[in-house]
């Protein structure tokens, strides 16, 4: 059994070492876990199924064809059905180039230090992963590739990291230190990401703010990130809380939700604890629906480094599907959910709008159902083909594929006015 969950009393009676400790009995606990994500998203789905939504209809008749489309996508991309986890590492491999392995060879990274460096890289990279916009491109000159969207963002964030922009020690550039993160600027990110008037990146200011806050929060959370704070010290924290080399995905996620929750700007808070990616919707019993999309994406992206470091991460299907525009777009484009008013597809929507919250909740709830149907199509069980592989194989790729079939440039079916911190 794992150590207690990472609230303040699990570590010291004085709550030292956490930017914003969450004591036992704090009301935020009810929303800082994946059970809360699933239960509230299912409540929204029930609301839509009952016909009570003014925005969407649920079309269960399309579930089988949607699952078949996803299964066909999996087979086309992975004929042997050997699918990796849905994680940031797939983007670092854009164009079939294993950039991380090359970096390790070049700098002699191995053992525990390679794991810490991988975490130093992947945490900021995931926080920089919100949608880039249709106009942005990243030119990987070394491999003569022009990359867009998630792959472009991944390789651009790797460039930012390898340039030493996140390290406070010039002699050790491949680190992410709290001090360097706290002083990052939009201009520094823009340079690494090749942003220009002809190459605009959505949400540049928001991305810089997130990294700055990440540095400030890490510095104030030595229980997890050490002192002086380095993101890679998360590995040492998780090692210390593992039992017999095993740790649950839920523990990893909830550690991140408590440790990094204060990073998110201007979000809903309960008794001074930020709820992160949590939003209002009337169908939820308490009016709140948590998603924790980027934090779950980060947890998925930590699986490979942690396993490389000797940890066995258990309970992967405790994590949920990710409510972003590729998975959500798949639902609309496949007809599994239908717009009650077609004008919704041409209306710019901010992330807090009820329509967007509902769309995202339907995405989470539907992905569990799609995953079961996809496994049946592929003659796989959940142990061999967990949700992390269904997403990668998978729903995310199928969402991109069907968007390209439906619209020039493969744009999402809804227009999201993003601040660079959600989608």
pLDDT along the chain (423 residues), means of 10: 41 63 88 95 98 98 98 97 93 94 96 98 92 88 91 96 96 97 97 96 89 96 96 97 96 94 86 93 96 94 96 94 95 98 96 97 98 97 94 95 94 85 68
Identify the bridge partners of residue 199 per DSSP, sorted by sequence position. Answer: 196
Q: Please give the Cα distance from 409 to 405 (Å, whole number).
A: 9
Q: Which pLDDT value is given to residue 419?
A: 65
Interval 181-194: pLDDT, tens: 999 999 999 999 99
Give the three-state DSSP class for 357: helix
Q: CB–CB of 24/5 below 8 Å?
A: no
Q: CB–CB of 50/375 below 8 Å?
A: no
Q: Is the pTM of this model over 0.85?
A: yes
Q: Which pLDDT value is given to residue 14?
A: 38
Q: Please give the Cα distance from 46 to 222 (Å, whole number).
A: 42
Q: Which pLDDT value is given to residue 7?
A: 43
Pairing, β 138-140 against β 278-280: unpaired
Q: Which pLDDT value is given to residue 131?
A: 73
Q: Which pLDDT value is given to residue 130?
A: 75
Q: Please give the Cα distance from 319 to 104 (Å, whole number).
A: 29
Q: CB–CB of 251/6 below 8 Å?
A: yes
Degrees to nearest 5, angle at CA 257 with 253 and 263 = 140
Q: Which pLDDT value is given to residue 15?
A: 60
Task: Provide the H-helix boundaries in 261-352.
Answer: 293-308, 325-333
Q: Please give the Cα distance from 353 to 351 (Å, whole number).
A: 6
Q: Please give the Cα distance from 375 to 385 (Å, whole number).
A: 7
């Amino acid at each position: 059994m794992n150590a207690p969950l990472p609230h303040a009393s699990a570590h010291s009676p004085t709550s030292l070492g956490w930017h914003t400790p969450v004591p036992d009995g704090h009301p935020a606990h009810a929303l800082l876990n994946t059970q809360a994500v699933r239960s509230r998203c299912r409540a929204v789905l029930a609301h839509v199924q009952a016909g009570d939504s003014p925005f969407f209809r649920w079309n269960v008749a399309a579930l089988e064809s949607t699952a078949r489309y996803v299964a066909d996508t999996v087979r086309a991309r992975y004929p042997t059905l050997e699918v990796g986890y849905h994680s940031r590492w797939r983007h670092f491999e854009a164009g079939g180039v294993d950039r991380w392995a090359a970096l390790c060879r070049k700098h002699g990274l191995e053992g525990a230090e390679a794991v810490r460096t991988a975490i130093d890289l992947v945490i900021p990279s995931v926080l920089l992963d919100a949608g880039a916009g249709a106009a942005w491109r990243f030119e990987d000159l070394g491999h003569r590739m022009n990359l867009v969207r998630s792959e472009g963002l991944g390789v651009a964030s790797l460039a930012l990291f390898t340039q030493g922009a996140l390290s406070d020690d010039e002699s050790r550039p491949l680190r992410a230190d709290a001090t360097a993160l706290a002083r990052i600027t939009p201009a520094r990110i823009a340079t690494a990401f090749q942003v220009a008037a002809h190459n605009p990146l959505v949400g540049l200011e928001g991305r810089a703010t997130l990294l700055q806050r990440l540095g400030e929060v890490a510095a104030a959370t030595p229980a997890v990130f050490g002192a002086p704070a380095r993101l890679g010290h998360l590995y040492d924290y998780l090692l210390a809380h593992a039992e017999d080399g095993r740790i649950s995905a839920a523990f990893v996620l909830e550690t991140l939700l408590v440790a990094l929750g204060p990073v998110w700007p201007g979000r809903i808070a309960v008794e001074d604890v930020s709820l992160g990616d949590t939003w209002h919707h009337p169908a939820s019993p308490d009016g709140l629906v948590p998603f924790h999309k980027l934090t779950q994406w980060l947890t998925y992206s930590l699986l490979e480094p942690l396993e490389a470091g000797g940890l066995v991460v258990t309970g992967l299907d405790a994590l949920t599907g990710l409510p972003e525009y590729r998975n959500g777009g798949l639902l609309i484009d496949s007809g599994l959910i239908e717009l009650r008013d077609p004008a919704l597809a041409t209306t710019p929507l901010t992330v807090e709008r009820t329509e967007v919250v509902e769309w995202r909740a339907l995405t989470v709830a539907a992905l569990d159902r799609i995953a079961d149907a996809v496994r049946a199509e592929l003659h796989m069980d959940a142990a061999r083909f967990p949700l992390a592989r269904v997403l990668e194989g998978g729903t995310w790729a199928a969402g991109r594929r069907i968007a390209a079939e439906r619209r020039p440039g493969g744009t999402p079916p809804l227009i999201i006015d993003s601040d660079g911190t959600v989608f």
